[in-house]
Amino acid sequence: TQIDGLTKLRNRRALNNRLGRLASVGKSYSAIMIDIDDFKKLNDTFGHDFGDEVLRCVAGLLVRAETKDIKCYRYGGEEFIALSQKKDKVQLRQDFEGINHEVRRLKIEHKNVEGGYLTISAGTVLFNVKVLSGQEDSFYERQINKADDLLYSAKNSGRDVNFLKEINDINELNTGGSL
């Protein structure tokens, strides 16, 4: 199956299949790696059933944010990824801010327990590079890794932020974790 049982979003297998299709036509995309801030604390404080409800609610927002240009996936745990065909920094920032605004407005109740407001952090990578034939698989893997590096930096900076990097040269993906 390509649907996550808990969140009803496309799962990692669906993401890998999508990346394979993109690779077969040499098409680049932008990636927004999203993580629910302080999710472990929510789980530990209110219980795993509450955490599951948080995941379902955030996933529901992501489904509603989908368009013909944006598709969302559950990456694992409390991480999600949105693949976008948009190539404009302003649009990508607005997409994230719209999602984050909706997440902040969520009021999640489960078994008479109401959590505080939620926030998310993200690492966004905007790609303006041509994928070279024969390098597609490693290229897409490095794109996702770069988005994950940016997410990690965003979370270390205090959360509730989106770090965005524009990649104009494929060699910028070879720089490891540097931003």
Catalytic annotation present for 78: yes
Q: What is the CA radius of gyration of the chain?
A: 16
Q: Work out whether the CA dihedral 111, 100, 162, 142 comes out positive or negative.
A: positive
Token pair recorded at residue 20:
């394979």
Element (H, E) at 21: helix 12-25
Indicate which residue of 53, 66, 78, 102 is catalytic: 78
Query: In whole angstroms, what is the distance from residue 62 CA to residue 173 CA?
Result: 27
In terms of phi and psi (left: phi > 0; alpha: psi -120 to 50; beta: otherwise), the region of 159 is left
CA 131 to chain CA centroid, nearest Å: 21
In terms of phi and psi (left: phi > 0; alpha: psi -120 to 50; beta: otherwise), the region of 114 is beta
* Active site (catalytic) residues: 78
